[in-house]
Amino acid sequence: MDFDVNALIRQLIIQVPPLLFALTMHELAHGYVAWRLGDPTAKNEGRLTLNPLKHLDPLGVLAFIIMKIGWAKPVPVDPRYFRNPQRDMLLVALAGPGSNVLLAVASAALAHLFVNLGFLPFFFLQPLVAMLAASVWINIMLAVFNCIPIPPLDGSKVLMGLLPPAAARSYAKLEPFGFFILLALFYTGAIGWVIMPIIRFSNSLLLG
């Protein structure tokens, strides 16, 4: 089968802008909530910005192009600034996936609006709606993937915020091995088997 370069370019034009925005908002949400809870680390490092270059992880973008699952450069958070570190880290962790859920809903609403009203010329409407549909899928993917409770993903920090302090500290010791656990789950296809049905169902629910 011949490799279709033009199809790949069209796909990237549609998918890359919403991916960059989704990753940026995910990390910005983490940093903003941490800042509001008293941690200035992300702000001091220039991460409270909509500039995607400040948040990109090249490997994460490449993984999205190849495997359709990606990630950004994590925002630095110092829980020593928090009044209640365990609770506040949970809130910071939820902010990232929460921002992606909101973006997915907003993108779906705009897609339905443009399709139903049809007030834009077709040559402009079609790529715009395709980009919004891609935004829905990408933001759902980021929200669901990051909720996996394996360090260093957000789901692990949410779980640590819910566990008793001693159990949370024990669970945190898995973090050095988290990347290898995720790699093994990717290799076996276990991650896709778990999260893809959730992503497809949520996507169909929003786009109809």
Check residue 119 and give its pLDDT: 63
Instruction: Report how far Cα 123 is from the mean position of its chain's Cα atoms.
Output: 30
Q: What is the mean pLDDT of the chain?
A: 90
pLDDT at 1 over 60: no
pTM of the model: 0.90
Nearest of 64, 43, 69 to residue 54 by alpha carbon: 43
Check residue 3 and give its pLDDT: 63
Q: Tens digit of pLDDT for each residue in 64-86?
A: 777 777 778 999 999 999 999 99
Task: Say if residue 138 is exposed, middle or buried (CB neighbours under 10 Å; 0-12, 13-18, 19+).
Answer: buried
What is the Cα–Cα distance from 106 to 98, expressed in whole angstroms?
12
First to last CA, the chain: 32
Check residue 118 and give its pLDDT: 67
Q: Tens digit of pLDDT for each residue in 145-200?
A: 999 999 889 999 999 999 998 998 899 888 889 888 988 988 888 888 989 999 99
CA neighbours within 13 Å on the CB side: how many for 103?
29
What is the Cα–Cα distance from 182 to 156, expressed in whole angstroms?
12
Check residue 155 and give its pLDDT: 95
What is the Cα–Cα distance from 158 to 67, expressed in whole angstroms?
25
Tell me which residue has tokens 């001091």: 44
Check residue 46 and give its pLDDT: 95
Residue ranges of domains in the chain: 5-207
27 is catalytic: yes
Active-site entry in 27, 39, 88, 154: 27
Q: Tens digit of pLDDT for each residue in 107-156?
A: 999 999 888 876 666 667 788 899 999 999 999 999 999 999 998 899 99
Confidence of residue 59 (pLDDT cuts 50, 70, 90): confident
- Rounded average pLDDT over 48-58: 91
